[in-house]
């Protein structure tokens, strides 16, 4: 519905740019020689009878825009979304009056890439834009998105009016997201958070250590060159004095925030997501956030190294649904494998780490763990397969990235065990598995690529024949997504053979 409403709002904007309805006649509306113009003019005429409340509702969908996230990217400023209310207010006098009286349309404030190369006149225009949005949004909630702010003392001085305006509106922030570069920038931005932020729900603070790009991705190599051991920033004022509404936090290469995180913050029942990406994480940091955000539902940790200390005896995450562990971050969690309580955890993503250190945890949660995503494993041996074999309720298994997948896994998937119960078919491992994905992975332990492809066909045939029935009594086929097997694409004949037994095969 929102997409349809947004499309309608754009149509109305286009239609409203046509000649005034008073200049139209019945004859040219029905002129079949130009049906496109007739349709536009008909829509324009109908605007006269459209109530202001309906136009406001339609424009609110049009100004909402799509999400700011693309794949694994942390942040991308959405210029079209920021321009939407200005476009609506420029259509006609009536729409301008409606737009200016609707504070909800002016909720999105974005600042594009700012570097020392920007001319002072452009920064002055930016100051005017920020003040306009804050004024027209009145006392409503605002989302502040700063795509990339580079280090330059001159630029920081020119932007001081913008920072002051943001500070004065901190009580209205609903989301604050920024990618920074340079110590002066980090110092000034973090100083903004000494003001009360009672409505702040989403906080995303990221520091880029190279000025080459304007966006930051979780999968980038920014941690490889990050060195914050001597980068100390002092603050005279408290940090985050009010986080009563905070429900999502992303911290990338900003250990200053981690070290200054207020200890008195109480866990919130509605806390949803926590992401920490840092070159070095300490177990003290992990214990702190684990307790302050104990009610989270989504957790991502990424680090190159871990500073060890005595871990807490037990951690409980009653609402954690997805756990995403990258690289050395597994060392933060592995000491808790035997005591970590996650009663609803249904998805685990291991990116560059190993699943086997969490064998105890995996066995305890096998009854509700449904989704395993293994990426770029350096080692994929029998220990990993043994852990996977205990997860009998798996519905999704994804293997991606440049890694060697043991052919023993495929052989295990095609194995069947006869059922001794009457009127029952033989059983397969992971009977509920409905999605098995291989992306850019090669097989180890087979004679050649053709042998591995034959195993894939056999897996499709066995699981297609022996898969569990759905509610209509039809076998549930395994959906397989193959990109590369070894260095060769799966042949067309083998794809057709797998499809012939009921498997849905996508070749990337």
At 206 the pLDDT is: 86
At 104 the pLDDT is: 87
Tokens for 187?
């110092």
As a whole number of Å, the CA-based R_g of the chain is 28
- pLDDT higher at 183 or 487: 183
At 427 the pLDDT is: 65
CB distance 218 to 70 below 8 Å = no
- pLDDT-derived band at 487 (thresholds 50, 70, 90) equals very low
pLDDT tens-digit map of 10-30: 455 544 444 443 343 334 434
| Other Cβ atoms within 10 Å of 437 Cβ, number | 18
Q: What is the DSSP letter of 39?
A: H
Q: 235 pLDDT exceeds 90?
A: no
Helices (H), 344-415: 359-364, 382-389, 407-414
| Other Cβ atoms within 10 Å of 130 Cβ, number | 21
Collapsing DSSP to helix, strand or coil, 364 comes out as helix
CA distance 405 to 442: 6
| Other Cβ atoms within 10 Å of 308 Cβ, number | 12
- pLDDT-derived band at 80 (thresholds 50, 70, 90) equals confident
Q: Which of 108-117, 219-228, 259-268, 482-491 has the largest mean confidence?
A: 108-117
Q: Which of 234-243, 274-283, 331-340, 368-377 has the largest mean confidence?
A: 368-377
CA distance 481 to 439: 7
CB distance 105 to 65 below 8 Å = no
Q: What is the chain's mean pLDDT, rounded?
A: 74
Residues pairing with 371 in the sheet: 347, 396
- pLDDT-derived band at 224 (thresholds 50, 70, 90) equals very low
CA distance 288 to 311: 11
* Out of 180-184, 460-464, 480-484, least confident range: 480-484
CA distance 444 to 449: 10
Q: 265 pLDDT exceeds 50?
A: yes
- Quickly tell me which residue has 């200390």 as its tokens: 309
* Out of 86-90, 202-206, 270-274, least confident range: 270-274
Percentage of the chain beyond pLDDT 70 is 67
Q: 449 pLDDT exceeds 50?
A: no
pLDDT tens-digit map of 386-440: 999 999 888 889 888 888 888 888 888 877 665 555 444 556 788 778 788 887 7
Q: Which of 106-120, 372-386, 466-480 has the largest mean confidence?
A: 372-386
CA distance 296 to 316: 11
Averaged pLDDT for residues 482-497: 63
At 232 the pLDDT is: 52
- pLDDT higher at 346 or 155: 346
CB distance 109 to 82 below 8 Å = yes
Residues pairing with 144 in the sheet: 109, 176
Collapsing DSSP to helix, strand or coil, 451 comes out as helix
- pLDDT higher at 448 or 159: 159
Which distant-in-sequence residues (6+ apart) come within 8 Å of 355 by Cβ? 348, 362, 372, 374, 384, 387, 388
* Out of 39-43, 82-86, 270-274, 361-365, least confident range: 39-43
Select from 221, 191, 193, 196 the least CA-distant residue to 209.
Answer: 221
pLDDT tens-digit map of 344-373: 999 999 998 889 999 999 999 999 999 999
Helices (H), 159-311: 160-168, 183-191, 255-260, 283-292
CA distance 504 to 86: 46
Averaged pLDDT for residues 92-105: 88
Range 185-210 burial, b when 16+ CB lie within 10 A, else e: bbebbbbbbbbebebbbbbbbbbbbe
Q: Which of 308-312, 382-386, 410-414, 437-441 has the largest mean confidence?
A: 382-386
At 117 the pLDDT is: 58
- pLDDT-derived band at 167 (thresholds 50, 70, 90) equals very high
| Strand pairing class (347-351; 371-375) | parallel
CB distance 290 to 301 below 8 Å = no
CA distance 61 to 66: 10
At 65 the pLDDT is: 56
End-to-end Cα spacing for the chain: 31
At 353 the pLDDT is: 86
């Amino acid at each position: 519905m929102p997409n349809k409403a947004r499309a309608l709002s754009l149509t109305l904007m286009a239609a409203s740019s046509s000649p005034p309805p008073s200049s139209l006649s019945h004859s040219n509306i029905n002129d079949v020689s130009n049906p496109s113009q007739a349709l536009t003019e008909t829509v324009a005429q109908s605007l006269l009878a459209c109530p202001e409340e309906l136009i406001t509702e339609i424009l609110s969908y049009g100004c909402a825009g799509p999400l700011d996230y693309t794949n694994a990217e942390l942040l991308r400023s959405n210029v079209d979304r920021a321009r939407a209310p200005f476009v609506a207010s420029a259509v006609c006098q009536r729409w301008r009056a409606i737009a200016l009286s609707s504070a909800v349309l002016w909720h999105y404030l974005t600042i594009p890439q700012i570097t020392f190369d920007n001319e002072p006149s452009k920064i002055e225009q930016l100051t005017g834009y920020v003040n306009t949005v804050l004024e027209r949004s009145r006392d409503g909630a605002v989302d502040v998105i700063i795509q990339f702010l580079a280090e330059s003392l001159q630029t920081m001085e020119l932007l001081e009016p913008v920072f002051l305006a943001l500070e004065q509106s901190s009580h209205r922030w609903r989301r604050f997201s920024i990618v920074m570069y340079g110590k002066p920038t980090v110092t000034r931005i973090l100083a903004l958070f000494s003001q009360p932020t009672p409505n702040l729900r989403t906080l995303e603070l990221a520091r880029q250590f190279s000025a080459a790009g304007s966006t930051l991705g979780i999968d980038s190599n920014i941690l490889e060159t990050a060195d914050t051991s001597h980068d100390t920033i002092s603050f005279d004022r408290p940090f985050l004095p009010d986080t009563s509404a905070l429900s999502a936090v992303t911290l990338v290469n900003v250990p200053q925030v981690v070290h200054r995180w207020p200890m008195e913050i109480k866990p919130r029942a509605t806390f949803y997501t926590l992401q920490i990406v840092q070159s070095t994480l300490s177990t003290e940091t992990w214990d702190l956030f684990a307790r302050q955000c104990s009610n989270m539902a989504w957790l991502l940790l990424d680090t190159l190294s871990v500073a060890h200390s005595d871990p807490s005896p037990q951690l409980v995450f009653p609402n954690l649904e997805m756990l995403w562990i990258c690289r050395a971050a597994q060392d933060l969690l592995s000491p808790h494998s035997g005591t970590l309580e996650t009663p609803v955890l249904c998805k685990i993503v291991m990116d560059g780490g190993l699943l086997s250190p969490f064998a105890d945890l995996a066995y305890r949660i096998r009854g509700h763990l449904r989704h395993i995503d293994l990426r770029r494993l350096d080692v994929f041996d029998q220990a990993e397969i043994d852990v996977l074999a205990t997860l009998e309720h798996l519905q999704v298994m994804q293997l991606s990235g440049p890694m060697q997948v043991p052919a023993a896994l495929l052989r295990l998937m095609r194995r069947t065990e006869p059922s001794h119960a009457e009127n029952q078919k033989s059983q397969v491992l992971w009977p509920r598995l409905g999605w098995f994905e291989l992306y850019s992975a090669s097989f180890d332990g087979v004679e050649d690529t053709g042998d591995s492809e034959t195993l894939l066909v056999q897996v499709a045939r066995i699981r297609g024949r022996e898969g569990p029935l759905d509610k209509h009594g039809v076998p549930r086929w395994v959906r397989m997504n193959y990109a590369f097997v070894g260095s060769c694409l799966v042949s067309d004949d083998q794809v057709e053979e797998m499809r012939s037994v009921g498997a849905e095969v996508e070749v990337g």
